[in-house]
A = this chain, B = another copy of it.
Amino acid sequence: MATKTEPTLADIEAARERIAHHARVTPVYGSETLLRESGRPTLLKAENLQRTGSFKIRGAMNRLATLTAEERDAGVVAASAGNHGQAVAWAARELGVHATVFMPEDAPMAKVEPTLTYGAEIVLGGAGFDAALAEAQERVAESGATFVHAFEDELVIAGQGTLGLEIADQLPEVGTVLIPVGGGGLAAGISIALRALRPKTRLVGVEVRRDGYTIADGIAVKVPGELTMSILQQNLDEVVTVNDEQISAAITLLLERSKLLVEGAGAVGVAALLSGEVGGKGSVCAVLSGGNIDPTTLISVLRHGLTLAGRYLVMRTRLVDRPGELIKLTRLVAQQRCNIVQIEHRREGVTLEVADVGVDLTVVTRNEEHCQQLIALREQNGFPVQRLG
């Protein structure tokens, strides 16, 4: 493979021309809640509202738009169970090119279905991403199709850099920009654009802690490539790492207060801001890089976020096993205007007396104060309470 060189501002400007009729210029929104919570004016670059739900079409479109007629006829291949696969499928359809996307066999439906809808051929197979990648490369070798890498490619990086041009236009005065880092293509592209146009802006990469499962699956399994790493080392002022707990809180806040659905990888900038570990002063722009979160994951994230905020209360109590006792208990809950989400009786367990029954209750509460009131009311009425969440 030929040595790859860093794209320049001119390359990024050329990319902007190429993708102009395809990609959206995504909006920027201020967030009062984040100003209050972080003490810094916060602007959200809502790239989750991009077509296909992520920034990836900028790079994919720039790559595909520069194929020769012959290359277009031979089609393109990608290996991805995520945003890159959707982006390549979408860009290929826009340009009338055949795309084949290789995915691991248990890729979630929420990813498979849109990619299919954009008209790509999908090959499900292999036990994980590496197997899918190997199959993709085999296909490329056999067929002469062009492999589209998710980040280690000058044209892809230049395409992602167009997001940096938009930030330079929309927020000429912003002090700090927070950019998610997975493979590093987005951060590399944005940093080249902003280093050239806004040399004083502080550029912060945000990574997710790489230890096992994370909800930021879009950036979790990747490490920057050789080219992207070299660009990031030159251009980033700082790298901050966040964990799933912080990301969950950020997703919940963005959804509830800004009405924006943001995936784990897209919420890391806000998570970093809320952690207090972002250096510098003054205004901050967080790049919300995508919104493709699986709804079942979203439900778990919201439940967790709401429990942390005292808006769900899970508690275990004991009552004597005779008619009427449960009525007393539920009356106390109703008296506090709480809605019961789940109720469970337990008869087995060493902590229970013979004539006792254990009851686990999950209720919707207003806030931590409300939880405390409910617990106190129950204890005053003779029901011991153990808080589980």
Contact = CB atoms under 8 A, between A and B. Distances in A.
A53 interface: yes
Interface string A314-358: 000000000000000000000001010100000000000000000
B259 A295 contact: no
A283 interface: no
Given A29-B49, A109-B367, A261-B260, A299 B299 contact: yes
A366 B261 CA distance: 21
A194 to B, nearest CB: 24
A364 interface: yes
Contact of A291 (B259, B303, B339): B259
A113 B113 CA distance: 38
Given A296-B306, A299-B303, A48 B259 contact: yes
Given A259-B48, A259-B53, A109 B298 contact: no
A105 interface: yes
Given A296-B311, A298-B302, A256 B110 contact: yes
A27 interface: yes
* Residue with the greatest number of chain B CB neighbours at <10 A, chosen from A261, A262, A303: A261
A295 B302 contact: yes
Nearest to A118: B32
Interface residues of A, number: 44
A92 to B, nearest CB: 15
Interface string A148-165: 000000000000000000
Contacts of A33: 117
A252 interface: yes
Given A49-B29, A252-B295, A299-B302, A337 B106 contact: yes
A295 B364 CA distance: 11
Given A49-B259, A296-B306, 8 more contacts: A29-B49, A36-B117, A109-B367, A112-B366, A256-B295, A260-B260, A260-B261, A299-B302
The 7 closest A-B pairs by CB, nearest first: A259-B291, A109-B366, A259-B261, A106-B337, A48-B259, A296-B364, A295-B302
8 contacts: A49-B259, A106-B337, A109-B311, A112-B366, A255-B261, A259-B261, A259-B262, A296-B312
